[in-house]
């Protein structure tokens, strides 16, 4: 099977066969984020704050990024996480759909954290009326926040990583709605533009995986299924809950911690050879 440089065996020295035999090797250390700096958009929300907590527990300093209207939630949340995990947690306010605010966010991140190694690009909305006859305004708002907002915040993250000459990890929140129309008891749920943005986010994450690999930057997406993140509380009936989980093989919603574990993995060196994937965390929904 000799192809090319068969005499230059040193090229193979980069592939250790049994790292576990090295005295200091500990596989669980790969999940540590000690000393890393990260930000989470949608940091006041269910998935965002749970990912921030996971990253903080793993040793990272984290900026929680959300709308100014979340101030009353974000300030005490930052204080609670900092106290519990003894790391630096900074609340930062930014509408991810506003270009000037995202430019200002870049400066605030550098001031607050020094740099950015990991970014959870997660802010998103499902605007009422997002169906086949949706008004232009519903479509535009969804695209502006979910897709353009993801692009703009990912841009500042990867530029900071490259300007500081280190690699990093971008994790985007796609959705099972980016893969199918969410069949709920007879028809699709209203995710027309939402699903389009979530499909777009995944392809954008894949493109960046290819383009940024030379800089040591990994780029992946997660696709949560139905997650009891807080957004459904008080909004769906037990009957609607049962209809939603009917096509889910595990027959339940997921939890915020189940998403946070996946995002911790992708952020950490445990995923050092993982880029361009869409990690479906959906109780098996996507197998049908």
Give the catalytic positions in this structure. Answer: 175, 194, 198
The verdict on 190 binding ligand NAD (CB under 6 A) reads: no
- To the nearest whole angstrom, how small is the minimum distance from the Cβ of residue 267 to ligand NAD? 16
CB 60 within 8 A of CB 37: yes
**Residue 220 touching ligand NAD (CB under 6 A):** no
Interaction between residue 281 and ligand NAD (CB under 6 A): no
- Only one of the segments 45-53, 84-92, 128-136, 213-221 lies at the binding site for ligand NAD (rule: CB under 6 A); that segment is 45-53
Binding map of ligand NAD across residues 119-148, x = CB under 6 A, - = no contact: ---xxxx-------------------x---
| Ramachandran class of 251: left when φ > 0, alpha when ψ lies in -120 to 50, beta otherwise | left
In the complex, what is the shortest distance from the CB of residue 122 to ligand NAD, in angstroms, rounded to a whole number?
Answer: 5
Q: Is 230 one of the binding residues for ligand NAD (CB under 6 A)?
A: yes
- In the complex, the smallest distance separating the C-beta of residue 252 from ligand NAD, rounded to whole angstroms, is 12
Site for ligand NAD in 92-111 (CB under 6 A): 95-97
Q: Which is nearer to ligand NAD, 163 or 242 (CB)?
A: 242
Q: Which is nearer to ligand NAD, 212 or 227 (CB)?
A: 227
User: Burial letters for 120-152: b for 16+ Cβ neighbours within 10 Å, e otherwise?
Assistant: bbbbbbbbeebeeebeeebbebbbbbbbbbbbb
Site residue total, ligand NAD (CB under 6 A): 27
Residue 3 C-beta: closest distance to ligand NAD, Å: 44
Member of 42, 190, 200, 247 binding ligand NAD (CB under 6 A) = 42
195 binds ligand NAD (CB under 6 A): no
Provide, rounded to whole angstroms, the least separation between the CB of residue 207 and ligand NAD: 19
Dihedral-angle region of residue 102 (phi above 0 means left; psi in -120 to 50 means alpha; beta otherwise): alpha
CB of 130 to ligand NAD, least distance (A): 11
Enumerate residues 47-66 that contact ligand NAD by CB under 6 A: 47-48, 66
Torsion angle of alpha carbons 95, 96, 99, 104, nearest 10°? Answer: 70
Give the binding site for ligand NAD (CB under 6 A). Answer: 41-42, 44-48, 66-67, 70, 95-97, 122-125, 145, 149, 173, 175, 224, 226-227, 229-231
């Amino acid at each position: 099977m000799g192809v090319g440089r068969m005499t230059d065996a040193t090229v193979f020295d980069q592939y250790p066969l049994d790292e576990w035999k090295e005295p200091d090797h500990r596989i669980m250390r790969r999940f540590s984020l000690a000393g890393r700096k990260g930000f989470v958009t949608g940091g006041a929300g269910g998935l965002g704050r749970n990912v921030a907590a996971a990253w903080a527990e793993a040793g990272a300093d984290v900026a929680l990024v959300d709308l100014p209207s979340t101030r009353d939630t974000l300030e005490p949340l930052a204080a609670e996480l900092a106290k519990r995990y003894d790391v630096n947690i900074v609340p930062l306010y930014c509408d991810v759909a506003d270009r000037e605010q995202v430019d200002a966010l870049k400066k605030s991140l550098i001031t607050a954290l020094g740099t950015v190694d990991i970014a959870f690009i997660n802010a998103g909305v499902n605007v009422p009326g997002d169906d086949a006859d949706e008004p232009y305004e519903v479509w535009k708002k969804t695209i502006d926040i979910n897709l353009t907002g993801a692009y703009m915040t990912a841009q500042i993250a990867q530029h900071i990583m490259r300007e500081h000459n280190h690699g990093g990890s971008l994790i985007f929140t796609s959705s099972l709605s980016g893969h199918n129309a969410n069949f709920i008891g007879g028809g699709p749920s209203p995710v027309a533009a939402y699903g389009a943005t979530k499909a777009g986010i995944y392809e954008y994450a894949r493109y960046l995986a290819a383009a940024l690999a030379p800089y040591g930057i990994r780029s992946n997406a997660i696709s949560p299924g139905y997650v009891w993140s807080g957004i459904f509380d008080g909004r769906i009936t037990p009957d609607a809950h049962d209809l939603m989980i009917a096509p889910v093989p595990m027959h339940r919603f997921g939890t915020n911690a189940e998403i946070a574990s996946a995002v911790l993995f992708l952020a950490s060196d445990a995923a050092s050879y993982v880029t361009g994937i869409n990690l479906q965390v959906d109780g098996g929904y996507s197998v049908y």
